[in-house]
Amino acid sequence: MSVQMTTPIHLIVILGCRKLMTMKRHFLKTLFSFLALALFSAVASAGVKIEHWTTASGARVYFVETRGVPMLDVQLDFAAGNVYSVPDKAGLPSLTRSLLESGAGDLDEEKLAERLTDTGAQLSGRVDNDRASVALRTLSAKPERDAALTLMHTVLSAPTFPQAALTREKERSIAAIREADTQPDAIVAKRFAAAIYPAHPYGVSATVESVAAITRQDLIDFYQQHYAAKHATISLIGDISRSEAEAIANQLSQALPAGGASVTLPPVTLPKSQIIKVAHPAAQSHIQIGLPAVRRGDADYFALLVGNYSLGGGGFASRLMKEVREKRGYAYSVSSYFYPQLLPGPFGINLQTKRSQVNDALKVVDDVLSRFMVQGPTAKELVAAKKNLVDGLALRLDSNAKLLGYLSTIGFYGLPLTYLDDFPARVNAVTISQVRDAFARHVPRDHLVTVVVATE
Amino acid sequence: MKLPICLAMLLFVGVSPAPTFANPVLNTFETTLSNGLRVIVKEDHRAPTVVHMVWYRAGSMDEKDGTSGVAHVLEHLMFKGTKRLPSGEFNQRVAAAGGQDNAFTSYDYTAYFQIIPKAALPEMMQLEADRMANLVFTPAEFASEIKVVMEERRLRTDDNPQAQVFEAARGAAFLAHPYRRPIIGWMNDLEHLTWQDAHHWYTQWYTPSNAYVVVVGDVNHKEVFRWAKKYYGVHKARALPERKPQNEPEQKGWRRVSVKAPAKLPYLSMLWKVPRMNDVHKDRDPYALEVLAAILDGNDTSRLAKNLVRGGRIAQSAGAGYDGTVRGEATFMIDGQPTEGRSVAELEAALRAEITRIQVAGITPEELSRVKIQLIAGQTYKRDSLMAQAMEIGGMEAVGLSWRDVDSLVDQLKGVTAAEVQAVAQKYFKDDALTITVLDPQPMDAADPKPSANPAIKTLH
């Protein structure tokens, strides 16, 4: 496959792209991995049959049987994201997740990697604000599947957290933080999170000092506390039967630690409206505008989703793209999003523009947002948004990988099992005044924070 | 099949109806319209969705000096209007169908795609066929879009230190071959590009005989062939401009380049010229190079991560990649960042030592087996994604190979021996074919530049 592709839209297909860096255990905090935000923009049943039960040990299980390809995906999501970090040790949740693969049972790091590779399986995971995930993709033929699941079981139940691996990964993490602190995209994301979540764990990023303070005992304690069946959801999709899924879920969840009590998260408060300017020599200003806006499961979610399509979520159908990019050529990429979380997740607008025209671009964005807040979408825009969201459902559910994303989100956030079935009706029921009201409630403009990195 | 032959073939468009080929095992079917446009359909009925792609065998390597980036600029302009469709309507129609669309430009090709509910396929084929021949953009639209592309260049390259290294590395490694130019184009060329340049590009290369359609998803191939004839079949075939080979002369001596940019960690890229895939059945070295790349950086047990990141703690990160399916010159790249406190020279020595170990001692049967196990499993995982399957077909065809060769390619890879891997390590990794590029990190305060580390001099040689 050929090298380096460029695309006209922000969605970006990275298939066959030149591999810039291989960082097997790169665990820099994925606090705001905004490119993934489209993920939950739309969900629907389209004939997807979700089976749900709870294991004896308390893990909630979500299962979809698909027989088309002889493979199986299993993902465990724990309430073990960055929001659960120990104070002054930001980075602990990511390090804990990462170190799960650095040795388990009687297998050291290298043996573990060898055994896993020999099964043909792929073990992966991620950590965001709320959750930490451990995911396995394996062939479904019994020998390979059993071997891979046994290893996943070992990783989940008996991680050894070797000191040498921890020391090394702390060093790599610190180096990655220092590097990220020189790059405008990373700086703007970090400053934005800190500004919209003042004095809240959602706003805290790992620092050189916080990572340096993390000990092996911290990892062990964090694992024992948070990687418990009662804090876990298990999502399975693929070429297995319900009874096989039950056996797998039982086996995996039985092995998990007992876990501590559920943690009460501190409330999110709205930030003061402010403009933060950060010096940087980049050619473009990197801009993020927003505030904490909406929880997962909020009654206004569908009004926000439908409205945001017309504001800045719908690519070239959106006002931001038309006004900032199409009419004026101010930016390659400009978009807006809602990212619901356990606690109010961000609403944001992102763009980058040549630094000399940053004020002009900000003015356009402000005008678009102001007008949208007052008027909401036009009748025509509303129809277009609904049509794309509803008719586009099928293609957001057409692979095991995509379905797994939805399954795990429905499970982790306790959304109704009928969420998929209800989706078209919920979208179609949204009115213009609902959009206006929802935006007024969730995007109070007198609390908006603007961060500009690389400006005069 | 020899690579360049397909290019010549396109100048001679057949008039008789072409036979339809099918491979029932792959569920893939192919036909050629009378205007030379080829249509490849892979049926996959798991979900009621379809990927529709149109690939043009025109990429940045077909550009001329002074108008670099025009292939990609035209890609942007293809989303403007046509004789029938108002500007901006294309995206709206795709969105209204519940679809997603995008496009990408590479050195070798430009491709457009829509992912859609299956009922929308005929409309998408009509839209793509329309802009294949009837594109209309105004000078004003060009003037606005070129600014967008310049913003894209700032974002992707100018403010991205590793992308700058990549650009500089290609620029140094290739003197004659057009791969020396960045796909997105030099900023100065973009500043002087005209709407006429873009329009000329379109009329030169956007012709049915230089394109092929790939459809993967819940479709009946016969129905797709009928729609293809109806929508794409109306266009007249046109001769293509002559393509000169522009082969790179043999490199005689290593090249070293450095790039300064705001960053903390240095970064090192080592680029060797190696052979590309010409003949799927007769070639051996490209397969061995592919396996070598995987031994170094294909899975969690691979050598660079194991020995340099985890073991020796010399590298913060390290990677290797071989790009053998290309129209032009193939390269093998090894890159990485040293850990804090280690120098670029130490990292370079460590990366070289990894190559040397394979040259001297070869690879183990376990390593070879692991690469093959992951390769075979990957063939199954790939079937989960329509887009991955469409990209595979399109990528093969773009360089003059055939979708029919996908399985042969996998079979050939399975047959690679440890001795073959050792042999290519010995044969191609000579300093005379090497370009080394180093990122020299600069403090963010431009007013206070640190004394230059000058890595171009402070190296092993």
C-beta of residue B379 within 8 angstroms of C-beta of residue B409: no
Residue type, B387: M
Vertex B99: Cα angle to B85 and B37 (nearest 5): 65
Nearest-angstrom CA–CA distance, A84 and A393: 33
Within 25-84 of B, beta carbons closer than 8 Å to A belong to: 46-49, 59, 72, 75-76, 79
Cα dist from A401 to A138, A391, A405, whole Å: 12, 20, 7
B75 assigned to active site: yes
Within 223-262 of A, beta carbons closer than 8 Å to B belong to: none
Minimal Cβ distance to A70: which of B49, B380, B441: B380
For an interface test with A, the pick among B44, B55, B75, B102 (most A C-beta atoms closer than 10 Å) comes out as B102
Short-list B219, B83, B199, CA closest to B145: B199
* Shortest alpha-carbon distance between residue A5 and chain B (Å): 5
Minimal Cβ distance to B384: which of A16, A387, A399: A399
- The 10 Å Cβ neighbour count of residue A24 is 20
What's the token pair of residue B64? Answer: 């001329």
Nearest-angstrom CA–CA distance, A221 and B3: 59
Task: Using a CB–CB cutoff of 8 Å, tell me whether B127 touches chain A.
Answer: no
A175 contacts B339? CB cut-off 8 A: yes
Within 116-155 of A, beta carbons closer than 8 Å to B belong to: 116-123, 137, 139, 144
Q: Which residue of B has its CA nearest to A387?
A: B96
Cα dist from B287 to A117, A197, B170, B323, B407, whole Å: 20, 52, 23, 11, 13
Q: What's the pLDDT at A456? A: 78
B384 contacts A69? CB cut-off 8 A: yes
pLDDT digits (tens, 9 = 90+) for A285-341: 999 999 999 999 999 999 999 999 999 999 999 999 999 999 999 999 999 999 999
Which residues of chain B lie closer than 8 angstroms to A377, CB-CB? none
Minimal Cβ distance to B395: which of A1, A13, A393: A1
pLDDT digits (tens, 9 = 90+) for A109-129: 999 999 999 999 999 999 999
Q: What's the pLDDT at B444? A: 82
Minimal Cβ distance to A284: which of B117, B151, B306: B151
Give B19's DSSP letter: P
Burial of B458 per CB tally in 10 Å (0-12, 13-18, 19+): middle
Looking at chain A, the whole-number percentage of residues with pLDDT higher than 90 is 87
pLDDT digits (tens, 9 = 90+) for A244-282: 999 999 999 998 999 999 889 999 999 999 999 999 999
pLDDT band at A420 (very low <50, low <70, confident <90, very high): confident
Q: What's the pLDDT at B21? A: 64
B96 contacts A387? CB cut-off 8 A: yes
How large is the greatest C-alpha to C-alpha distance in chain A, in angstroms? 63
Minimal Cβ distance to B106: which of A4, A179, A279: A4
Place of tokens 């240095």: B266
H helix and E strand count, chain A: 15, 13
A399 contacts B47? CB cut-off 8 A: yes
Q: What's the pLDDT at A355? A: 96
* Shortest alpha-carbon distance between residue A343 and chain B (Å): 30
Pick from A33-42, A359-368, B92-101, B202-211: least confident: A33-42
* Shortest alpha-carbon distance between residue B375 and chain A (Å): 8
Q: What's the pLDDT at A377? A: 98
What's the token pair of residue B423? Answer: 């042999």
Catalytic residue (choose from B75, B123, B367, B392): B75
What does DSSP say about strands A232-238 and A60-65: parallel, antiparallel, or unpaired?
A: parallel
User: Buried (b) or exposed (e) across B66-94, using 16+ Cβ within 10 A?
Assistant: ebbbbbbbbbbbbbbbbeebeeebbbbbb
Q: What's the pLDDT at A122? A: 97
Alpha helices in B97-184, H assignment, sequence order: 121-133, 139-153, 161-173
Within 255-274 of B, beta carbons closer than 8 Å to A belong to: 262-265
A387 contacts B150? CB cut-off 8 A: no
A184 contacts B100? CB cut-off 8 A: no
- φ and ψ of A202, to 5 deg: -60, -25
As averages over each run of 10 residues, the pLDDT of chain B (461 residues) reads: 28 36 78 98 96 98 98 97 95 96 97 97 98 97 97 97 97 98 98 98 97 98 98 96 95 98 97 97 97 96 97 97 96 98 97 98 98 96 96 96 93 97 98 98 65 36 36
Nearest-angstrom CA–CA distance, B324 and B429: 15
Q: What's the pLDDT at B26? A: 73
DSSP symbols for B286-353: HHHHHHHHHHHHTSTT-HIIIIIIIIS--EEEEEEEEE-S-SS-EEEEEEEEEPTT--HHHHHHHHHH
ipTM field: 0.90
Which residues of chain A lie closer than 8 angstroms to B444, CB-CB? 182, 279-281
Cα dist from B64 to A4, A302, A434, B202, B373, whole Å: 19, 50, 54, 14, 43
Residue A11 pLDDT exceeds 60: no
A13 contacts B104? CB cut-off 8 A: yes
Burial of A126 per CB tally in 10 Å (0-12, 13-18, 19+): middle
Alpha helices in A36-108, H assignment, sequence order: 92-99
